[in-house]
Amino acid sequence: MSAQLEQPRAAPVATKAADERPALWFVPAGFAIGFAGALCGIGGGIFAGPLLHSVRRVPLKRAAATAILVVLATTTTSTVVEFSRGDSELHGEIVLPLALGALAGAELGFRAARRIDERILKLVFAVVLGLAGLRVLLFSSALALAVPHETLVSTALALGIGVCGGFLTPLLGVAGGVLMVPALFLTLGQLGFGGARACALAAGAVAALRSLFLHTRAGNVSFALGLPLALGALVGAVGGVMAAHDPLLAHGGRVLLGSVLVAQAGRFALELRRSRAKR
């Protein structure tokens, strides 16, 4: 059984150089991804993974694992910049249980990532991208509940949300903010969108660090492709946090981002439909 599992892994080595050569535009692309990821609290991996898969034809699982480099760069930079601001929207009583949950979720997500079929992964991508896009476009403060964020109930909610968000990080190569931001925003309304964004990014950094370690140890990460994107994301995330604190820029960015996410979801759904038609 172990021999059968090792043989397919050796096949892509011959095409690795052709598929995984970095390009000069990776750094500016990473900048845009980091900016958008920090602005809306989704980390940017939701763009980096599909980009590597569609443009460089990197297998989706490997693209998702490589995208975690961008997620780690974006979430870590965003959290440091947010923490240093006088008007920081980080809430320690939420970030701690959220991060602990994300750490546990990352372990579960990595186990799932090793077993999931790529067609199913594309379907998950399409669903998550579509829901994330609709969340960015449609959610408003009028939908938020008013659960106080300094109680045992809020701690339990943050822990559960963190587990679910962390689960997505090694599976899809995303920060989990696509789930954590709306979940925090809807259940802990006193945080506001900005607080949900900031707390989700901080917890996403913890999940990304653990997920990157697990995927690197398994040999799933292409550092040649991921590092240039991550370098751009480091700088872009700084601008994203600054824009997030400007009401006008934050609103415009969310509308643009939501539109792109929905379009990406449609592309993955179209790919799945075409693949089924060929069978």
On whether residue 6 sits in a domain, the answer given is no
Neighbours of 275 (CB within 10 A): 11
Element spanning 211, H or E = helix 192-217
Report how far residue 181's alpha carbon sits from residue 155's, in angstroms, rounded to the nearest whole number.
Answer: 15
Each residue's pLDDT tens digit, 188-244: 867 877 888 899 999 999 999 999 999 999 999 999 999 999 999 999 999 999 998
Q: Which of 1-5, 93-97, 226-230 has the lowest mean pLDDT?
A: 1-5
Cβ-Cβ contacts under 8 Å for 74 (sequence gap 6 or more): 33, 34, 37, 38, 43, 44, 45, 175, 201, 233, 234, 236, 237, 240
Strand runs labelled E in the chain: none
Q: Most distant CA pair in the chain: distance in Å?
A: 58
HSE of 123 in the Cβ direction (CA atoms, 13 Å)?
8
Dihedral sign, Cα of residue 179, residue 139, residue 241, residue 198: negative
On whether residue 121 sits in a domain, the answer given is yes
On whether residue 36 sits in a domain, the answer given is yes
DSSP annotation of 24: T
On whether residue 111 sits in a domain, the answer given is yes
On whether residue 11 sits in a domain, the answer given is no
Whole-structure pTM value? 0.79
On whether residue 13 sits in a domain, the answer given is no
Domain region containing 194: 23-278
Give how many domains the chain has, as a whole number: 1
Q: Give the pLDDT band of residue 184 (cuts 50, 70, 90).
A: confident
On whether residue 17 sits in a domain, the answer given is no
